[in-house]
Structure 1
Amino acid sequence: MKAAAAWFEEALGYACRDAALLEAALTHRSAGGPHNERLEFLGDAVLNCVVARLVFREFAAADEGDLSRFRASLVSGEALAVIALEIDLGQYVRLGSGELKSGGFRRKSILADALEALFGAVYLDGGFDAAERVIERLFIPRLDRLPSAAELKDPKTRLQEAVQAKGLPLPGYTVESISGEAHNQVFQVSCSVDALGLRAVGVGPSRRRAEQAAASEVLSALPKASVRSPPVQEAPVQPGSPEINSSDTTSS
């Protein structure tokens, strides 16, 4: 673990006093023995607290919804995996033989979980202030690269706001199909904005993900869409009323 300890101090700017904590944080459950899932749980909580304070301080004019979107973007699994790759975390994660052969050291979920576990280890080893310094070291440079709050809204929210701005009814979502085993299902969901004649189908591992994919497709077509005029309906002829032919003429 000497190489891992040296890497850890260089990458995160912290010298871990308890080698067992560092070893556990870098051990995936597939490797057997003490692993990093409990530390991941703790690190996730510490990370969210520190990043919440960061965005609260950085974006003084942002409301609660925007602050939540900024935080969610920074601490997403995708964002954590990017950081883990940048600091070469995968080289130091201990994996079982099966995970190792399948390239687990590059798997985003494993990398993101290990990074959170490291935050948990620092918290236990040096307290909240130490964990905060480590997290800020990694996340403060990313604040300037955050998209705008509007861009961070999910596709369903952006589509809903767009159609409401046009004074139109909300989009409709319909589950078209569900396939696959119970633990590995694939959802197909359609999204329709009838007033604009728009419809798209999204696919995802959950209903929510499929809805977001469908909404994203409809959003991309929205700028070129125009409101459809409702069909003209003729007024029904009342019983006993004489029919009038437009070609008839009357003379006085």
Structure 2
Amino acid sequence: MSEFDFSKTIGHTFKDSHLLKNALTHSSYINESKQAYSDNNERLEFLGDAILDAVISDYLYQRLSEVEEGQLTKLRSLVVCERSLMECASRLGVGKHLYLGKGEENSGGRQRTSILADAMEAVIGAVYLDGGWKAAVDFILHIFRDTIEDALAGRLYSDYKTELQERLQINGEVSILYEVEKEEGPDHDKTFYVCLTANKKIIGHGQGRSKKEAEQHAARAAIKKMGC
């Protein structure tokens, strides 16, 4: 399928088609094809992450006028997280449109959670640059509509990091730290190992294809260890 087909799928016609290609280009493709760093989607991912956070925050603030800050934060974390982004990317078929290096392609990169989530953020960034703030808001609220409603109805899975923080800090402030102990594998196929401490005491370990995923696994392990 072409980028034009994907543009129709997401409901935004790009005036600058290069922005869409940029959003769908993984660093592994750039590394293998010897193109400029700016041609990968990492900068757009950075931008899209901030825009998504702002749009969802504003939407929840406007819609839930009687809800306190802590609950708004929890709801936002359920919508603006790696898993939600990955699932949204899967629904839109982002994976089959990605430009990947051969190594990443052969190791299952088109289905990898971190790559799909990052690409989804990059597409959001591209829509914003191409169409402006209103286009970005309309796009985000459309593609995350079901996710938002599921979060409000309590149907979404837990964000383990948020859940753990709430449990640990129920009786006061606790210093929680996630540290990457080591990384293994080439750039296109890394595994991250994270150590989780609370008030300098180790309470969990986790590993994953991204730092975010490893941190979630470490938090889940800590919750399980607590017997929760």
Q: Secondary structure at the match of 1:154?
A: helix
In the TM superposition, 1:130-209 aligns within 5 A as 130-146=135-151, 147=154, 153-158=162-167, 160-161=169-170, 164=171, 181=182, 184-185=192-193, 187=195, 202-205=204-207
Higher RCO (CA 8 Å, separation ≥ 6 residues):
2
Asked if 1:59 corresponds to 2:68, the answer is no
Report the counterpart of residue 24 of structure 1 in structure 2.
22
Decide which of 119, 122, 130 is 2:127's aligned counterpart: 122
Greater C-alpha Rg: 1
Contact 2:24 2:97 in 1 (8 A): yes
Contact 1:156 1:215 in 2 (8 A): no
| Structure 2: gaps of 5 or more residues | 185-191, 208-213
Q: In 2 relative to 1, CA 170–211 (structure 1 residues): closer, same or farther, beyond 3 Å?
A: farther
TM-score by length of 2: 0.74
Q: Partners of 2:51 and 2:25 in 1: how far apart?
A: 20
Superposition RMSD on alpha carbons, in Å? 3.4
Identity %: 34
Contact 2:44 2:123 in 1 (8 A): yes
TM-score by length of 1: 0.67
Q: In 2 relative to 1, CA 111–219 (structure 1 residues): closer, same or farther, beyond 3 Å?
A: same
Q: In 2 relative to 1, CA 215–190 (structure 1 residues): closer, same or farther, beyond 3 Å?
A: farther
Contact 1:25 1:35 in 2 (8 A): yes
Report the counterpart of residue 13 of structure 1 in structure 2.
11
Report the counterpart of residue 48 of structure 1 in structure 2.
53
Aligned length: 199
Q: Which moved more, 1:204-213 or 1:120-129?
A: 204-213
| Structure 1: gaps of 5 or more residues | 192-200, 221-252
Q: In 2 relative to 1, CA 93–218 (structure 1 residues): closer, same or farther, beyond 3 Å?
A: same
Report the counterpart of residue 198 of structure 1 in structure 2.
none
Query: As a proportion of its length, which structure holds more helix?
Result: 2
Report the counterpart of residue 187 of structure 2 in structure 1.
none
